[in-house]
Amino acid sequence: MKVVIIGGVAGGATAAARIRRLDEQAEIVVFERSGYISYANCGLPYYIGDVIGDPEELTLQTPESFFSRFRVIMKVRHEVTAIHPDERLVSVRNLETGETFKENYDKLILSPGAKPTQPRVAGAELDRVFTLRTVEDTFSIKEYINKHHPKSAVLAGGGFISLELAENLKELGMEVTIVQRPRQLMNPFDPDMAAFIHSEMRRHGVRLLLGHTVEGFEKSNNGVDVLLKEEAPLHADMVVLAIGVTPDTALAKDAGLKLGIKGSIAVNDRMETSVPDIFAVGDAVQVKHYVTGQDAVISLAGPANRQGRIAADNICGKDSRYTGSQGSSIIQVFDMTAAVTGVNETNAKKAGLETDKIILSPMNHAGYYPGGKLMTMKVVFEKKTLRLLGAQIVGYDGVDKRIDVLAAAIHANLKATELKSLDLAYAPPYSSAKDPVNMAGFMINNIEKGILKQWFLEDVNRLPHDGSATLLDARTAGEYSDGHIDGFKNIPVDELRTRLDEIERNKPVYVICQSGLRSYIACRILAGHGYEAYNFAGGFRFYDAVTNDRCLIESASPCGMDR
């Protein structure tokens, strides 16, 4: 059996190694048009920022090392220019010599990946306008920085690469501006959770221009002018386009393979395309979202590796199935960590799901143990079934641990209430006896049983200020004086039982505190005395962060806050 693989890196290289482990006799040939068959995509920004000092550290395998261990023929700087399914041939061009030839196959795997999305605007081809996707892109940017010592950079786009690059350019002493059309960074997060990411970026001096449209680029004063719609241009020494990636599927399209959304390659759960004996994996393929069941394109290294393994299994006579992509991902944002899994509230509603949510701010470990830090967690679940849909966490230590537990829970189809029963490791330096994941389960269990009733940030402007309800802030007087929502009366939770005469009966009470814990206790006190009480999800800390972020994005204040 002869297997030809188009593209290396995560999907193609994984498939090649797996096929060899399953079939010692197979002939395996990989064509990779770049000079690198297996490299660390996610490490590229950190090489630019000198966190990774040796460029060889980016290269996980070389053609020589791969052949030595797996007897796989790796042909770098070779571009497949056409696929001929009827003849079981591919046309190939040697990019170094210009030679062209055809290679036969019994099985073919497409792992072409994705290419940086190029805006259709003037000036995108300027020599000071870069993209960052390959090792060659990385070396080009690094060479420019070392030679010209730029003082400023504009990054167009606000996804993973843009944020990681912004941090690394700031560490090199550059002034960095991120500009993009959406009004938030990191679209896998809901806008309210993205507010914490925005705050961390601003705290480290990154300028955010969200909700602005780039219309083109012009050379100017040894730099680049970034032309904005209905705004004055931005000037920078360099620009990096990081507005996303597009499946690189021209070969598949020309060969007549069925395509899916965003021009991706349609595959079944065995990673088989519409043409017999041709498989496809990685960033170029359409998959099912594990939570919604809808078609999706999810460009992440983990899924690409698993898909490569599954394609290899099926080529070698096994029966492996891809169950879908969940979108679990994590990013370092300066001192902060942000992570997500499943589907966020915004996309769950777009998918037609009836959602509910909780927002909590637990410590990463026992409060009495030194060094504890808050994290903000948002867990989204289906109202009627209590099915876990997704989670987002922004914080410091321990974020990675909790997002992985929640990702596993979603994959295992646990109900949101079952989080309370998970037996998780505890020691004071690492967690609390009630782990944040358990706390999420307790809260959702209270919602299911009617013990906890919530109100949310989106309800703030709809709160009754006509006396038909009581608006109660359960924090201390000092906290209240430092900032509160207009119209809220301050009664600290520890004084509530002795001051119930100040709260009218037969009217709902909307309660808030700093994090949501004291206000929950206040709600239980009120419920015990016959009141109908609602707890604010997330607390004033959450309200303050999100509303301040919205003010900064809109350049307007004071946004209803009494300071």
Q: What is the identity of the amino acid at 60?
A: L
CA separation for the pair 386, 377 (Å, rounded): 17
Alpha-carbon separation of residue 277 from 15, 51, 85, 273, 285 (angstroms):
15, 43, 9, 8, 16
Which tokens is 393 given?
A: 């966490």
Spell out a b/e string for 24-62, using b for 16 or more CB atoms within 10 Å of the CB, else e: eebebbbbbbbbbbbbbbebbbbbbbeebeeeeebbbbe
Angle at 300 between CA 296 and CA 301, to 5 degrees: 140
CA separation for the pair 410, 324 (Å, rounded): 12
Q: How many H-runs (helices) and E-runs (strands) does the chain carry?
A: 14, 35
Find out whether 534 and 460 touch, Cβ atoms under 8 Å: no
CA separation for the pair 460, 483 (Å, rounded): 15
User: Does 523 qualify as catalytic in the annotation?
Assistant: no
Which helix (H) or strand (E) segment holds residue 528: the answer is: helix 517-528
Sheet with strand 295-296: strands edge to edge? 265-266, 285-288, 295-296
Which tokens is 240 given?
A: 């990096």
3-state secondary structure 264-303: CEECCCCCECCCCCEEECHHHEEEEECCCCCEECCCCHHH
Q: DSSP states of 428-465 as a string?
A: TTT--SS-HHHHHHHHHHHHHTTS--EE-GGGGGGS--
Q: DSSP states of 198-234 as a string?
A: HHHHHHTT-EEEET--EEEEEEETTEEEEEETTSPPE
Find out whether 511 and 472 touch, Cβ atoms under 8 Å: yes
The catalytic position among 42, 316, 513, 551 is 42
CA separation for the pair 185, 181 (Å, rounded): 10
Measuring CA to CA, which residue among 193, 125, 138 is closest to residue 164?
138
Measuring CA to CA, which residue among 481, 469, 513 is closest to residue 494?
513
Measuring CA to CA, which residue among 86, 80, 107 is closest to residue 272?
107
Sheet with strand 388-395: strands edge to edge? 329-333, 336-342, 388-395, 376-382, 355-360
3-state secondary structure 350-403: HCCCCEEEEEECCECCCCCCCCCCECEEEEEEECCCCEEEEEEEEECCCHHHHH
**Known catalytic residues?**
42
